[in-house]
Amino acid sequence: MGEFSFGVILAILSLLIMAVNIFVVVVLVQLIWKSRCLGLCFILNLAVADSLVGFTVTGLVTEELSSPEHQTPQNYCVLRMACVTFPSAASIITVILVSFDRYLTIKHPFQYFKIMCGPVVGVCIGGLWLLACLVGFLPMIVHSFQQKNYQGLCTFFKVFQPTYVLAIFCVGFFPGFFIFIYFHCHLLKIASLHAQQIQGLEPIGFTATCPGPKCSTATKALRTVAILVGCFAVLWSPFFIGSIVQIACQQCLLDHLLERYLWVLGVCNSLVNPLIYAYRQKEVRLQICQMFLCMKIKVFPLFHVNSQSRAPDRTGPSVHTISLAHLEE
């Protein structure tokens, strides 16, 4: 893949990431304002972090589209790569925090609103960004993580030591990934137990005529866990595993593969996150449908008036409401 084509791919990817996540941010802000649900603040924080990932990636587009003779100063390159790593780390940590929030919601539903109050949510989000800032800008604090023989080509492995990736993997990604898996496996276990309890409370005749609530609930929970864990593992694990292989085998020369393909695959996680964590929630889908309906009424008022004149016998408000049951259909 050439420099120009890779720059074009990065430009398209960054624009898609920003567009999708900014739209999700607008939807979630309106939904949180109406429902006062603090649990959605973590999803909102995830969308903000992912939109920052897309914004910082745009800085690498100019680097890829510039001439081969272009030389980037080392300090500027370190700052640029740190700005890319910082929101990526925030996105990964937020995914883990979202899984913990869902675990707490199901495991302790009655104590959840006492635990997850406003100050606690603020401390969690603030501590998350501080930790992500530390991870991203660590090479600027610890100069031993920077390459000593920098040649002017601004790429991740040309400016950072492999030990920096190893430190992130061992201290951050590897433990966080297993915590993420633990929470979702525990949620799957709770869903299976709930399905068994529901089946045990059913009358014998009802079970014979309507079989499958247990299988349906367990299958939905298993599918949700598989999507969440699978996307996170498939998109980010190849980059970190390939980085460890590069550290262990200095003669393998995997820099091009890591920076051109595996890293871009990890960045795609910021495009997938809004589809998984935002759109899969029924409240978010309801808010999106209501937003589009209001936009349709404002953009096409004549069409809305004509539709009302054709059905004069109907009574009720002019703005349609959509229930959660309609979305489930």
pLDDT in tens, 248-272: 887 777 877 887 788 888 889 889 8
Question: What CATH number does residue 269 fall under?
Answer: 1.20.1070.10
CB 207 within 8 A of CB 178: no
How many structural domains is the chain composed of? 1
Residue 300 placed within a domain: no
pLDDT beyond 80 at 308 = no
Task: Give the tens place of pLDDT for each residue, 212-225.
Answer: 444 455 566 567 66
Task: Give the tens place of pLDDT for each residue, 72-106.
Answer: 788 888 898 899 899 989 998 998 888 888 888 88
Task: Give the tens place of pLDDT for each residue, 122-132.
Answer: 999 999 999 99
List residues bridging with 160 in a β-sheet.
Answer: 146
Residue 304 placed within a domain: no
Residue whose C-alpha is closest to residue 156's, from 171, 146, 144, 143: 146
Question: What pLDDT does residue 2 have?
Answer: 61
Residue 9 placed within a domain: yes
How far is Cα 68 from Cα 53, in angstroms, rounded to an integer? 25
Q: How confident is the model at residue 303 (pLDDT cuts 50, 70, 90)?
A: low
Flag the least confident range among 27-31, 238-242, 251-255.
251-255
Residue 321 placed within a domain: no
CB 160 within 8 A of CB 145: yes
Higher-confidence residue of 194 and 326: namely 194
Residue 22 to residues 10, 111, 249, 259, Cα–Cα distance (Å): 18, 32, 41, 26
Higher-confidence residue of 68 and 141: namely 141
CB 42 within 8 A of CB 104: no
Dihedral, 302, 303, 308, 311 alpha carbons, nearest 10: 140
pLDDT beyond 90 at 192 = no
Question: What pLDDT does residue 325 have?
Answer: 43
Question: What pLDDT does residue 55 have?
Answer: 92
Question: What pLDDT does residue 208 have?
Answer: 43
Residue 96 placed within a domain: yes
How far is Cα 171 from Cα 176, in angstroms, rounded to an integer? 8
Half-sphere CA count of 72, side-chain side, radius 13 A: 23
Question: What pLDDT does residue 1 have?
Answer: 56
pLDDT beyond 60 at 204 = no
Percent of the chain with pLDDT over 70: 78
* Mean pLDDT for all residues in the chain: 77
Residue 304 to residues 35, 297, 312, 326, Cα–Cα distance (Å): 28, 6, 13, 21
Give the domain extent around 266: 3-280
Per DSSP, 144 falls in state G
Question: What pLDDT does residue 323 have?
Answer: 42
List residues bridging with 146 in a β-sheet.
Answer: 160
Q: How confident is the model at residue 53 (pLDDT cuts 50, 70, 90)?
A: very high
Residue 315 placed within a domain: no
Residue 290 placed within a domain: no
pTM of the model: 0.79
Residue 77 placed within a domain: yes
H-helix or E-strand containing 124?
Answer: helix 118-136
